[in-house]
Amino acid sequence: MDRVALRGLKARGHHGVFPREREEGQTFIVDLVLGLDTRPAAAADDLTKTVHYGVVAEEVVDVVKGEPVDLIETLAERIAQQCLKHEGVEEVEVVVHKPDAPITVPFDDVTITITRSRA
């Protein structure tokens, strides 16, 4: 299986369990690895035979900006399901970064990584 990766998609969302997170929002960063067979697209040099990663990026940003959820686990699942709606995408790895998580000690990042497939 081939891989198409998008790294560092940024969007402001209002996800979290604390009222402040819901009210003020924060930046979330998303990395994706889409698993698909790119041979038909390469052979024909045809965008319609692969995943349009620009469209995927816009959809993922819309999910992050969309309906708030409590957990980044839920957000990651919604992103994965959106990616799998694209014909040809057989698998997706989603990493959601929450660099401004409400943690009381110094830290660099909080992430959740999930892998989902059609099977």
Dihedral (Cα; 41, 9, 96, 61), 10-degree rounding: -90
- Measuring CA to CA, how many Å separate 73 from each of 39, 80, 118? 32, 11, 19
Instruction: Please pick, among 10, 49, 65, 98, the residue that the annotation labels catalytic.
Output: 98
Burial zone of 77 (CB within 10 Å; 0-12 exposed, 13-18 middle, 19+ buried): middle
- Catalytic-residue membership of 98: yes
Query: Active-site residue numbers?
Result: 98
